[in-house]
Structure 1
Amino acid sequence: MSANFSRRLAAEALGTSLLLAAVVGSGIMAERLSGGNVALALLANTLATGAALIALILSLGPVSGAHFNPAVTLAAAWQRDLPWREVPGYIVMQALGAFAGVAAAHLMFGEPLFSASTKVRAGVPQLFSEFVATFGLLAVILGCSRRRAESVPYAVAAYIVAAYWFTASTSFANPAVTLARAATDSFAGIRPADAPGFVLAQLIGACCATVLFRWLAPAPPRNEPVRS
């Protein structure tokens, strides 16, 4: 394994870990401080997640591309922006990082290291929400990266902040995040039985967005610079 690839894997693990620490930790803090006001707790959770996304993508994007999401990694490989041979390493490190982030959040707030969530997120509206959330996320990433790559951190964060509120599922939009959030019985959790449906909906949404944007905003030829 090359030193460069090792650095990229470490960046994916670190970024996904800090993202989950932000999502779960802010959810725990928000629930404790909101006095039972779920809307206020969700707003606090949303703002913390969006802010963390901007910081993490800006800091780790130059190293690994800051995917932090198996759906994004698969789309990048499909678009030939990442070799397929590197996909398994990215996804494994994202998953490990996600569970490490949950554990870190639990340790910070004195919770058990892992605890199966009891938060029910089931039904067709929830699954369709995850399809829409992930489709939109990939649309934002693929659309911005083609012409305005420097805007990706802000566009992704803005979309996730919005999608927290306009989707019934509060926009997980990430298979690694979904599986790890099944291990936290907190505000941000999802019942383990509901996680597979979320992951499937996310992958279908990512696939549909990638197919569309291969036509809507195709990558320029490798020897042709991107023009604004």
Structure 2
Amino acid sequence: MTARADGLTLGLDTSGVVAAGLARGTEVLASRSHDDTRAHVEQLTPLVQTLLEEAGAGWDDLTRVVVGIGPGPFTGLRVGIASAEVLALALGLPCTGVCSLDVLALQAVRAEAVTGDFVVVTDARRREVYRATYAADGTRTSGPEVGPAAQVPALPVVGPGAHLDAELADRSVAAVGSLDAGVLAAGVDLLPDAGLEPLYLRRPDATVPGRPKSTLVTPAPRLRVRPASGRRGSGA
């Protein structure tokens, strides 16, 4: 399934904040975000509706949906990816997934904020960051990975995870902050297709509980005493 060249591409990303953007081809038309990282469900659809109104467009004007697949937290990624898939299915549109770190790298290249290799970092919580390294043209050369800030390569840093560590902040490229879903929508054909499986990189904090252990005391096994065998005596 291919999109019309003159149609609108909708970009969604919930790997961090709630972000949505619209583009026509490679031109960003509108971009909005909501900074509450725990309100993905409540904020995503109203955000898209606001974007369409600002662009003077309707749902029928959309011809493609692209979504960031992370890395990011379990719940946030599920909301964004599921919303993109349901919307694309309902409207009969193609749906593409891209690595969210690749979008931040593209933002850095578009802003001419980097001149050589660099690293993109975002907040992974638990005092860790998601990271990937890139060449000057935005091509990913390693990652994505998750780990402590001390493991981030000694390169210029791009992305919203830089503030989590003083050493990373010193190397931060200030021109690139949070993910711009407008760039996501406009740059979909420049970014590698990553499929629609979320990039969690580690297990979720909440897990399905296993079978509860019994607190009852198991009774001791009863010993079965076998009677001693003897010879039947002769009668008198």
TM-score by length of 2: 0.29
Structure with greater helix share of residues = 1
Larger relative contact order (CA 8 Å, sep ≥ 6): 1
TM-score (norm 1): 0.30
* Greater strand content: 2
